[in-house]
């Protein structure tokens, strides 16, 4: 592009904004060049590992979970675009392929946890983290709400407790993840769950109302037709995120909490063997894409 064409485009851009382009050009004369560490915020990012003990592997534990939260943020970023914008099928496939790559990263990265920390050190410093738990990841819950209707986040046992026409609030009372901290026989909730609800539940309900009839599931159901390529991309995301990843998480927990038959409790106090298993969670984003046999065997697939 020639210099005069570039200046014309710059002038047109700021004219459209009702601004004087010369003011911005003058400002550019005094602007400092951007560098990598400021743009990425490297110094801030690397200062966020605040350990509670002197065990060296606790810093690994923190960084791994921070990395996971960044990956989840990338996923939510892609999903929100599909929810709020209208795209052609090829864009859907592209973004689902991105989601599948991000999920693969979550799955393979669990080796950092499973093989990258001292068994003895982890089982010592983890007690200082109580009642904090990865269960309290809000982004995990936000992603689910964007992806599918709340009815798909209630397992079979929870569905037996729902009224005939449940409200959004009622769905949240019986959503699968509350089983990690709610003893329905005694009516008592763990501190981990109570803290999580106090901080995030109103936000979750507000989002669920906002995206009602607009989730990924809703938008796919409204499509006139679905190609085989799109169907496979949707099923891959559903399976990788809702079966493969929870299974890897479960196996990692078994490595640290039950390796020697101790059957130790999770920091959040959940029945982790039951709660983490996809057969218990029964979370499916696109149940209409799966056969009855596949749904009945959910969580048993490898």
15-45 pLDDT, tens per residue? 999 999 999 999 999 999 999 999 999 999 9
Residue-wise DSSP of 10-43: HHHHHHHTT--HHHHHHHHHHPPPP-HHHHHTHH
- Parent domain of 132: 56-296
Tokens 């690397």, residue located:
46
- Give the DSSP H or E segment for 219: helix 216-221
| Token pair in block for residue 288 | 């209409």
Rounded distance between C-alpha atoms, residue 243 and residue 261, angstroms: 25
In a domain, 33, yes or no: no
Task: Check which CATH number belongs to the domain holding 228 and give it.
Answer: 1.20.58
The mean per-residue pLDDT over the stretch 84-88 comes to 96
Sorting pLDDT into bands at 50, 70 and 90, what band is 3? Answer: confident
Report phi then psi at 182, rounded to 5. -125, 115
In a domain, 46, yes or no: no
Tokens 């859907």, residue located:
92
In a domain, 264, yes or no: yes
The mean per-residue pLDDT over the stretch 97-113 comes to 95
- Total domains present in the chain: 1
In a domain, 301, yes or no: no
In a domain, 49, yes or no: no
221-274 pLDDT, tens per residue? 999 999 999 999 999 999 999 999 999 988 887 776 666 555 565 555 556 667
Question: Is residue 61 packed enough to be buried (19+ CB in 10 Å), middle (13-18) or exposed (0-12)?
Answer: buried
In a domain, 82, yes or no: yes
In a domain, 1, yes or no: no
């Amino acid at each position: 592009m020639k210099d005069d064409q570039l200046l014309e485009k710059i002038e047109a851009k700021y004219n459209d904004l009702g601004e004087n382009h010369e003011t911005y050009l003058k400002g550019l004369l005094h602007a400092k060049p951007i560098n990598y560490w400021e743009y990425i915020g490297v110094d801030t990012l690397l200062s966020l590992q605040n350990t509670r003990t002197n065990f060296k592997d606790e810093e690994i534990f923190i960084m791994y979970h921070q990395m996971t939260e960044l990956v989840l943020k990338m996923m939510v970023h892609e999903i929100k675009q599909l929810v709020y914008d209208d795209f052609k099928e090829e864009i859907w496939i592209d973004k689902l392929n991105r989601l599948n790559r991000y999920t693969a990263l979550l799955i393979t990265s669990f080796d950092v946890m499973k093989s990258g920390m001292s068994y003895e050190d982890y089982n010592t410093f983890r007690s200082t983290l109580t009642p904090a738990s990865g269960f309290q990841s809000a982004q995990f819950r936000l992603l689910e709400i964007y992806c599918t209707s709340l009815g798909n986040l209630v397992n079979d046992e929870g569905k037996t407790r729902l009224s005939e026409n449940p409200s959004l609030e009622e769905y949240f009372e019986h959503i699968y993840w509350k089983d990690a901290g709610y003893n329905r026989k005694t009516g008592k909730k763990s501190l981990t769950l109570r803290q999580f609800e106090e901080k995030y539940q109103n936000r979750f309900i507000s989002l669920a109302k906002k995206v009602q009839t607009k989730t990924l599931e809703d938008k796919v159901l409204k499509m006139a037709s679905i190609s085989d390529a799109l169907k496979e991309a949707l099923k891959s995301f559903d399976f990788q995120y809702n079966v493969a990843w929870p299974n890897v998480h479960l196996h990692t927990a078994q490595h640290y909490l039950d390796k020697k038959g101790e059957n130790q409790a999770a920091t959040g106090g959940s029945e982790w063997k039951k709660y983490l298993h996809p057969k218990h969670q029964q979370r499916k984003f696109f149940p209409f894409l799966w056969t009855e046999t596949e749904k009945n065997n959910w969580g048993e697939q490898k």
